[in-house]
Structure 1
Amino acid sequence: MVISNTENSEATVDQTSNYDKMSELKAFDDTKAGVKGLVDAGITKIPQIFIVPPINSTNSLDTCETHFIFPVIDLESIDEMDLIKHKEIVDKVRDALETWGFFQVVNHGIPIFVLDEMLRGVR
């Protein structure tokens, strides 16, 4: 991987058949810059160390179904000042974050038009 710190910074990967992924990973780790460092350097192509070859499988993407069941936190009764219910919700949030790293919140009271506007702003 070549990363230059010039005005027109770029990152490229040696595409030869002698590609050594371990040395490439070590060089990337040694920079201590991480992916943000690649972006800050103005990378225009994904480095080869991040490219995973497709898995040869008889299942196509159309027929392969994956269902994830992730935590859903219901905030419907959060305002009732029921300390036991409040603690249960806090515990569910903590567990979801420790186990999954994310969760879905329902009955939060935020109007749908506000959520739509937020998504539009992000895009």
Structure 2
Amino acid sequence: MVISDDTKTSSENGSEIDRERKVFDDTKAGVKGLVDAGVVNIPRIFIRQPEELAQELTTHRTKLQLPVVDLDGIKDNKLEDIVDQVRAASETWGFFKVINYGVSLNLIQEMIEGVHKFNEQDVEVKKQFYTREPTRNV
């Protein structure tokens, strides 16, 4: 991946970052691939500009509270309310915290181990799964 200097205009930087992001995506190696390749500095595609962060801090200086969706209500036939909460959190924040989902800690630990095992595989094996295509099931 080629990392260029930041002396260009913001639009030039934006298109260069877009190209770098495409190169990164095309490798299909993910962040682990960067580490395996010996990259020691965080690539520019993962760094937000100080002006962008300052603007965000100014905009969101109030106490932010992460949306929480409690799935315990499913037992009480409150599925429609839960779906509305998920929709609102997704549209507003893009993410949310889920509680009372009924997945055991043991299963979560096994899943994390599976993710580690997947990421330790050769890049050629992982390439068949890596995608940003929203229509492709993984």
The alignment's TM-score, normalised by the length of structure 2, stands at: 0.50
- Structure 1 residues 70-85: aligned runs within 5 Å: 70-80=66-76, 82=77, 85=78
Report the 3-state secondary structure (helix = DSSP H, G, I; strand = E; otherwise coil) of the residue aligned with 1:12: coil
Q: Structure 1 residues 14, 99: closer, same or farther in 2, change over 3 A?
A: closer
Larger Rg: 1
Task: Tell me which amino acid in the other structure corresponds to 1:21.
Answer: T
State the structure with bigger RCO (CA 8 A, min sep 6), 1 or 2: 2
SS of 2:72's equivalent in the other structure is coil
Gaps of 5+ in 1: 1-9, 55-65
- Cα deviation for residue 76 of structure 1 reads 1.1
Q: CA–CA distance in 2 between the matches of 1:75 and 1:36?
A: 37
Q: Deviations over 1:26-83 (max 9, x none)?
A: 4445x5xx614334369856248946359xxxxxxxxxxx964111111113134x3x
Which residue type is aligned with residue 108 of structure 1? Y
The aligned length equals 94
TM-score w.r.t. length of structure 1:
0.55
* 2:114 is the alignment partner of 1:121: yes
- What fraction of aligned residue pairs are identical, expressed as a percent? 34
Task: Give the 4+ runs in structure 1 shifted more than 6 A.
Answer: none
Q: What 5-or-longer segments of structure 2 have no aligned partner? A: 28-32, 52-61, 117-138
